Structure 1
Amino acid sequence: MRKSFAVAASLATGIVLSASCLGQDSKPRPPIVTDPVYTKPQQLVDMDHGRRMNLYCRGSGSPTVILDAGMGDSSISWALVQPALAKRTRTCAYDRAGMGFSDAATRPSTAGNIAEDLHALLRAAQISPPYVLVGHSMSGLTVRVFADRYPNDVVGMVLVEGSHEDQSVRGWAIGEPGQQAEWDAYLKDARSCVDDARRGMAKGTPAFAKCVGDDDPRFSQAINEAQQKYAVTPKWQAAAASERESVFYASAQQARATRKDFGAMPIIVLTHAPYPKGKDETQEQRNQRTLLWEDLHTQVAAMSTHGINIIVPRSGHFVQYDRPEIVIDAVDQALAIAKEQHVN
């Protein structure tokens, strides 16, 4: 189920995802995520008048770490990170509206709406602040919007390959013309998956191949089957399409409007680099895109006097799968700083 999101990420700023991050290595490897908790909902929290969102919490302690997955992804994104963090403090992952085992979204999946949903979910589940927010990819925008809207609730942020509000505008300026048109064509194709889901998508059909994709070799067969059951539904396809439509437009604009000074709140950004050259780009274009990605992340880290952008080698876009120890260490750092500030 990762194929379409690889396309999305590569169109963002020309980022090329590694084969290991996409589960496409030439040599078969045993699955690295087998926990059966990801085959079913864990805690379906009634948010408002029967609309439920799936929440998975482990551990105890404060601050609570809140894990938000990337575009089209679910709480399984943190399977290699959450168990270790739960030994230190309470750690909660969740499925956004329409994603995973959560009920369908009732409005566009913009960063603002997602942040509002997350705030309501945590209140309904009685998960009290303070929070350290961890966001991957698209959720790099969401956690910043959340921290801006609910400043008294957040004491730290960790952005794992986080999206930036200017990545499309500046990224499309690098390379051949027509990248925005290519992205818009991709969105149109993604919206057609919603209609395909309403008509029904069976495994082995062209619609399934386009809209769902192959099994993810990182996951057990049982997890892949559970993912495919919700991925063929209109609610999942609609939410996935809405997230794709929002990330470079509405969500980017909402993030652009947030504050740029978070004081001494720890902000740790993880950036995988260097990036391999794509087949449709020159080495100079690749170098420009790599520098752009690092610069955008450094700008986010600079929003705090306790901000840092850490370059992560030997990783793809999914640092939490390729180098989970780096993500765990970054969250530990944010927790330590937040606790020290709270004591003082």
Structure 2
Amino acid sequence: MQQQEDQLPPSTTPAFNRIAYAAAHVVVDPAYTYEPWGDVPRVDWDATLEFRSYLYGLGFKVAEAMDTAQRGMGIGWPTAAELIRRSIAHARRIPGADLACGAGTDQLDSARSHTLADIVAGYKEQFEVIESAGGRPIMMASRALCAAARCADDYKHVYDAVISASRNKVVLHWLGDAFDASLSGYWGSRDVPTAMATVLDIIRLHQDKIEGIKISLLNAQYERQLRSQLPESVVMFTGDDYNYGELIAGDSTGHSHALLGIFDPIAPVASRALSKLAAGDTDAYRRLIDPTVALSRELFRSPTQYYKAGVVFLAWLNGHQDHFSMAGGMESARSVQHFAEVFRKADAAGVLIRPELAIERMARFLSVRAGV
């Protein structure tokens, strides 16, 4: 294991020919006493924001307070709202930094049923927090809406009301049920082409207010199909952590931009790969990015929603934080064998930026978790 050129940070901020949002994780303070199964952990704000500075320096935009930040799985709305405000203020101090922030309905009591009016109000409340702080919203998929909606028209009603009221362009977010089983049947149908027709109706109606759509169905063909039907002014952001390498590279049908959780742990290599792609060297891009796809498929293996554990594990191995603790005790969500495979594939992909530290921490982890 050695530090290679591909692992070194660039001397200047790279330029990409794809829009590349990295959905970033949150660093918690493990010394703080709180209920692990609650949703209000103590956040280590210095470490959390420093990691965002690191991503900006590698050329990425940040997708803030998304599912990678454990929204709905350890991080509740009060903490997410503070994260959004702090992250927007932080970005203003960094030349060229840019971000968009997740807006959902997770402040609504999940033990109760909600009307469509409740859901519209919930979205608008979160949009207001983001926009009043000077940010742009990513309209996250809503568990409450999926539970309340009875047909495609209910989705159209909610999205029309929220998008029409937004002060800024919106990024839509289609998160498949592999990431969150409670979102099964989103857009009013479990049949993907039928659901796609509904979201296209929404996009076409509001194309002047929509920057793009992130699709996370882990199916490259569905993404290409939707991409080919988008209005020219609306961008496709791949959220496919299994097939992003080929989708970003593109083909005769076009290419996708990116809004990805995997960019968090593979940031140095992904930055270099995207720079090669921008320079027209597709072969070099694929040589760099393809090994990270093997790592990503391990991180995002079923049950996919637990991928956050591997993301934070790699942040710890790389020295971005001094512990492997997560909100909600999520560090226990994967097996020792999984973390060992993540370590091997991260090494093969060149994303362990401080190899000696990674080896020392991996040995410590195996000693504590497996008695090795």
Relative to its length, the structure with more strand (as a share) is: 1
TM-score for both structures, normalised by structure 2: 0.29
Which structure has more relative contact order (CA 8 Å, sep 6+)? It is 1
User: Higher helix proportion, which one?
Assistant: 2
TM-score normalised by L of structure 1: 0.31
